[in-house]
Amino acid sequence: MRLKDEIAFITGSARGIGREIAEAFAKEGALVIISDIKAEDCQVTADEFKAKGYKADIMACNVTSSADVDQAVDKIMEKHGRIDILVNNAGITRDNLFLRMKEEDWDAVIAVNLKGTFNACKAVSKVMLKARKGNIISIASVIGVMGNAGQANYAASKAGVIALTKSLAREFASRNITVNAVAPGYIKTAMTDKLSDEVKGKILENVPLGRMGLPSDVANVCLFLASKDADYVTGQTLLVDGGMIMY
Ligand code: NDP
């Protein structure tokens, strides 16, 4: 058991990649706090986990609200007394070509992806700094590294997450807190299932491993970063993209 009795708070974990990360952690003995914007979605996922014998609790919160996130962290602390691992996974897209991109679509994506990560890091790092221990993992994207036509808001938000990760890694290193990012490429999820076969084919031309990633590919790398195996890794962005970007 690589995460036995660790307490992991994972935002946006009722479904998709976040759920997969939570399940990977729970299988390795962590108590996972399923957090998402809708409490009922958190409950469904937590009940499914408990039915499989995993340890799970729920804490709904909207990551765009610092008050909401602070309250969620306070409640987790009251109930469980620790947060060992934070995964900033909640994220949205509002794609459009730049000239057609509405200010509200820019603001919405920055609010969830970047400000949401800031809010959760701020609330949880207070706890981790006191404990002198912790792992923070933020889900970025290859788009934050290479940019993408039609995704200026998303690319900027994820590049921001990568820069935030490096800065916090430097600030928190002396307190034994590691801070890393994981940048998935094209992962088979509800978000990418919507793409046409033609678009998918074009994307795969740029993936040396020749297939889309699976949520479990991302979850396995998060598990590594959350485990003792990665104790000497901080400030890094690990690309989980089948080799799309090599540097
Ligand atoms: P999903 O949309 O499947 O899951 C994201 C979850 O976050 C949803 O449950 C969503 O709830 C929740 N969420 C949205 N807004 C908020 C909020 N304000 N507060 C709390 N929770 C919120 O996305 P994926 O699983 O595909 O993506 C997960 C992460 O991985 C994201 O950060 C994404 O940017 C990143 N990523 C995904 C890739 C992919 O190919 N899928 C590629 C690269 C990166 P609800 O559905 O109710 O809105």
Q: Is 245 left (phi over 0), alpha (psi -120 to 50) or beta?
A: beta
CA of 132 relative to ligand 1 center, distance in Å: 30
Q: Is residue 120 included in any domain, yes or no?
A: yes
CA of 88 relative to ligand 1 center, distance in Å: 10
pLDDT at 18 over 80: yes
Number of domains in the chain: 1
Q: What is the pLDDT of residues 154-163, one digit of tens each?
A: 999 999 999 9
Whole-Å CA distances, 16 to 11, 107, 110, 132: 11, 23, 20, 31
User: Which structural domain, as residue segments, surrounds residue 155?
Assistant: 7-186+214-240
- DSSP states of 23-69 as a string? HHHHHTT-EEEE--S-HHHHHHHHHHHHHTT-EEEE----TT-HHHH
Q: Is residue 107 included in any domain, yes or no?
A: yes
Q: Is residue 92 included in any domain, yes or no?
A: yes
Indicate which residue's Cα is closest to atom 40 of ligand 1: 187
Q: Do 183 and 240 touch, CB atoms closer than 8 A?
A: yes
More confident residue, 140 or 200: 140
- Structure tokens that stand for 43 in this block: 């409950």
Q: Is residue 226 included in any domain, yes or no?
A: yes
CA of 78 relative to ligand 1 center, distance in Å: 27
Question: Cβ–Cβ contacts within 10 Å for residue 150, how many?
Answer: 15
Q: Which of 54, 154, 186, 232 is catalytic?
A: 154
**Residue type at position 30:** A
CA of 14 relative to ligand 1 center, distance in Å: 9
Q: For ligand 1, which residues put their CB under 6 angstroms from it?
A: 11-12, 14-18, 36-38, 62-64, 89-92, 112, 116, 139, 141, 184, 186-187, 189-192
Is the pTM above the cut of 0.85?
Answer: yes
Q: Is residue 195 included in any domain, yes or no?
A: no
- Structure tokens that stand for 82 in this block: 């620790």
CA of 174 relative to ligand 1 center, distance in Å: 31
Q: What is the Cα gyration radius of the chain?
A: 17
The predicted model gives 161-171 an average pLDDT of 98
- pLDDT of amino acid 199: 85
Q: Is residue 150 included in any domain, yes or no?
A: yes
- pLDDT of amino acid 176: 98
- pLDDT of amino acid 158: 98
Sheet holding 177-184, edge to edge: 55-58, 31-34, 7-10, 85-88, 134-139, 177-184, 237-240
**Residue type at position 214:** L
Q: Which of 40, 137, 191 to mutate to test the pocket of ligand 1 (most atoms within 8 A of CB)?
A: 191
Q: Is residue 136 included in any domain, yes or no?
A: yes
pLDDT at 180 over 90: yes
Length of the chain: 247
Indicate which residue's Cα is closest to atom 31 of ligand 1: 91
Q: Is residue 199 included in any domain, yes or no?
A: no
Atom of ligand 1 nearest to the CA of 19: 25
Distance, in Å, from the CA atom of 19 to the CA atom of 49, rounded to the nearest integer, reads 10
pLDDT band at 86; cut points 50, 70, 90: very high
- pLDDT of amino acid 223: 98
Q: Which of 10, 17, 43, 64 to mutate to test the pocket of ligand 1 (most atoms within 8 A of CB)?
A: 17
Phi, psi (deg, nearest 5) at residue 10: -125, 115
Q: What is the pLDDT of residues 191-236, one digit of tens each?
A: 788 888 998 898 899 999 999 999 999 999 999 999 999 999 999 9
Whichever domain contains 48, its CATH number is 3.40.50.720
State yes or no: is 154 an active-site residue. Answer: yes
